[in-house]
Structure 1
């Protein structure tokens, strides 16, 4: 699998699937989650309500339509909230593994990822990058392109330096 980093807006990526750093409730929120729900429109929320009436557990993943975004699917993952004391790194790496498994289930060959849990959930950015890159490289998948979409120049440089 090819692994790359770009700086930009995950909602505008021309890929088969975008990964959403969601909360357990799966009803929209701030950060990446809010951006994806705004860009995808009401179809994303409607699909979340229908497919995930009880939300998702931390470390798990599931898919919905991408609504009005260029992608076909949104793969929602629930990362650990470091600020709230969820510090088990295996929950963070599980998000990337499960996202690739879900991508394989739906047939997505190109997937755009945010840095999961590295925003408002407060996971230390350097470790978030290492967890993302190492897990994406180590996980068997049919996905041909995994793109990490960095929010901001400093995050882009951090990821680029790790690749």
Structure 2
């Protein structure tokens, strides 16, 4: 792996982001998105416009993963960011998720957000839970059996938060 860089995504990146989003969502193990969303529906969710932003992690112009940052709520809750991350199967375990999260935190801070919150971190996604904790996130709540995992049944969802 050469040096991985993180930059803002462009519309031209979508064809490389789509296969990553598709494999992660269809697996149904880490996101609450409906598994049967079309490419058009997923693009509308993933590719953010201001005040949100979509990021890509690239290595020699190959997209390895992507992140989206958006206000967690509207109005009085819009000072807290929310973010989602997806890394392609071939790039997992290579630090891509960490780079994307660090970049997302920087983007959120620069945009004036005061905190970042993840609303639905599946408890069985132990790699992500450990990564978010190592980056300063705390579990501030757990919703019992709020996620229907395709192989493990009903498992908990964590709400994770950190100040910026």
Q: Normalization by structure 1: what TM-score?
A: 0.41
**Scaled by the length of structure 2, what TM-score is found?**
0.41
Higher helix share: 1
The structure showing larger relative contact order (alpha-carbon pairs under 8 Å, at least 6 residues apart) is: 1
